[in-house]
Structure 1
Amino acid sequence: MRLALFNHGRLGIVDGDDLVDVTEQLAGPGPYGPAGPLHRHIEQLAAGTVRLPDLAPGLRTPLSGAALAAPLPLPGKIVGAPVNYLDHQAEMEYTTSVADLGVFLKANSSVIGPGEDILLPYSDKRTDQEGELGVVIGRTASHVSAEEALRHVFGYTCLLDITVRSDEDRSTRKSFDTFTPIGPWIVTADEIPEPDALDLRCDVGGTTRQRTNTADLIFGVRELIAYTSSVMTLYPGDVIATGTPAGVGPLSHGERVVVDIERIGRLEVGVDGSRATPYGQRPGRRSAPAPSH
């Protein structure tokens, strides 16, 4: 199934050219809170409350006219995998990879959905796009093996890990509001039995910058879940950003960014730099010390 959030928090299944509203069928009665009905559904599945949707009576909305939102607007946590493609390691001239660095956390408040804008924070610091496969956890995972890892996956989505090339810590540089576009929906794991064999492309301003296959990941999805769950417990609704290939580059005001992943879909967002400010004017900055006399 392809599960999407649309039209002010409704949960739908993509059926051909339509979205079938299954909000109450899959998530039960509201309210659902800021995490949304899909997060509620994932948690209920993990708890053993199985809800099977019946598409026949559902209210249908043409997909072309639906206002899609981030399918998980407030994940429990977002885990990132730094330097998880060899070609990206080479282009950035890193001497380390995910195997040395481990994983990092992004703020869950950085999530936006299809059609929204990435807000560039600094006018004089480069902000890059990083197209990635996103993995949505479906069952609590702690110290799981690579062989068992996929049993803990609910589904997959397109994801952008936006990054400022500043002097701040990695988690800070990747956690600005709007820095984790997710969508356009989540494809359930049964539709993608092998996540380490998906073509991925990322275009900026109509030009392809990144093209890869997830077979080239240093830590594949199984290994990444196993490693991450050895560090921190993963809960239903958590999201793992699996890493980006070569081709990262600066974003400019007015550009469109598209991530297209085989068997999942196409996520498109905009770029807005109209509110960017100089890096030296950020809150908490420290001026140079006064000379001693």
Structure 2
Amino acid sequence: MRLALFDQDRLGLVNGDHLVDVTELLAGPGPYGPAGPLQRHIERGGALPADLSDLSGLPRVPLADAKLEAPLPRPGKIVGAPVNYLDHKAEMAYPTSIAELGVFLKANSSVIGPGQDVLLPYRDLRTDQEGELAVVIGRTARHVPAADALSYVFGYSCLLDITVRSTEDRSTRKSFDTFTPLGPWITTADEVPDPDALELRCAVAGEERQRTSTADLIFGVAELVAYTSSVMTLHPGDVIATGTPAGVGPIRHGDRITVDIERIGRLEVGVDGTRATPYAERPGRRARTAD
């Protein structure tokens, strides 16, 4: 099942070339707040009605006419997995991988949805695309063994971990507003029998930059959920970005970025650099000196 957020707080079940409006059926009555109705559905257990075979009585919207939003516009937290592919480790000449680095956090305010624009913050620093598989947690997880970890997953999505190549900490460089495109929907875990066997492709301006299989992850999905839950409690609706393969590169004003993941979907966003400023003019750029 694929669940999408559309047209301002409506929850849709993707059914062929239409969205079936299942907002009240799955999330109950609104309002849903900034986290949206899918978050409500996941927090309520993510269970489906006993019979979804007859959807004829529910409103339908052509998928082509719907304005898709990020399926989880305000997740509780976004956990990133740095250097989780060996080819990316070699590409960036990192001496360490996730095994030594652990995980990091991104601001949940950095999330945008399909069709929106990544806003470049600086005109004179490189900003890169990083295509990734996103894991959405379905129930509270703490010290979960890897053998049971996939049972804590609600579903999967496509994600871009946009990154400025500056000197700041990862959480700063990756947390600018618009730096976590997510979508176009959440594909529930029952549709993905093996999340460690998915083809991932990422293209910028029509040129393919990244192609991999999630089989090449250093920490596979189950191990990543288990490890992360040993550090912090994971709550329903939390998102784990599983890491990016080799092929990261600069994005520029006017580019279109796409991430395609087998069984999951295709996410496309634009790039806008019209409001970018020089790095030297950022707030706090000058160190204070004693009088």
**Normalising by structure 1, what TM-score?**
0.96
Detail structure 1 runs of 4+ shifted over 3 Å in the superposition.
49-54, 287-290
- Segments of structure 2 that go 5 or more residues without pairing to the other structure are none
Q: Are positions 1:89 and 2:89 aligned together?
A: yes
- Counterpart position of 1:182: 182
Displacement of 1:205 after TM fit?
A: 0.3
19-28 or 278-287: bigger deviation: 278-287
CA deviation profile, 1:204-232 (whole Å, cap 9, x unmatched): 00000000000000000000000000000
Tell me the equivalent position of 2:243. 243
Give the 3-state SS of the residue equivalent to 1:8 in structure 2.
Answer: coil
Q: Give me the identity figure in percent.
A: 76
Distance 1:168 1:115 in 2: 28
Partner-residue secondary structure (3-state), 1:45: coil
SS of the residue corresponding to residue 100 of structure 2 reads: helix
Correspondence for 2:11 = 11
Give the counterpart letter for 2:221 in structure 1.
Answer: V
Aligned equivalents of 2:192, 2:217: Cα separation in 1: 17
For structure 1, the residue ranges without an aligned partner over 5 or more in a row are none
Query: Does residue 99 of structure 2 align to residue 99 of structure 1?
Result: yes
SS for the counterpart of 2:45 is helix
Counterpart of 1:173, as a letter, is R
User: Within 5 A, what are the aligned runs for 1:261-280?
Assistant: 261-280=261-280
Task: Give distance in 1, aligned partners of 2:283 and 2:180.
Answer: 22
Map of 1:69 onto structure 2: 69
Task: Label 1:154 to 1:205 Cα distance change in 2 as closer, same or farther (>3 A).
Answer: same
Residue of structure 1 equivalent to 2:217: 217
- Report what 2:34 is aligned to: 34
What letter matches 1:203 in structure 2? A
What are the equivalent positions in structure 2 for 1:72-221 lying under 5 Å apart?
72-221=72-221
* Structure 1 position 51, deviation (Å): 3.9
Structure 2 Cα separation of the partners of residues 126 and 289 of structure 1:
30
**Number of equivalent positions:** 289
DSSP 3-state at the match of 2:24: helix
Which amino acid in structure 2 is aligned with residue 256 of structure 1? R
Tell me the SS of whatever aligns to 1:89. Answer: helix
Aligned partner letter, 2:220? G
Q: Could you tell me the TM-score, scaled by structure 2's length?
A: 0.97
Distance (whole Å) between structure 2 residues aligned to residue 93 and residue 237 of structure 1: 33
Q: Aligned AA for 2:219?
A: F
Q: CA deviation at 1:56?
A: 2.1
CA distance in 1, matches of 2:275, 2:174: 18
Report the CA distance between 1:273 and its aligned residue.
0.4
Q: Determine the C-alpha separation between the residues in 1 that align with 2:73 and 2:17.
A: 24
1:287 Cα deviation from its structure 2 partner: 5.4
How much is the aligned-residue C-alpha RMSD, in angstroms? 1.4
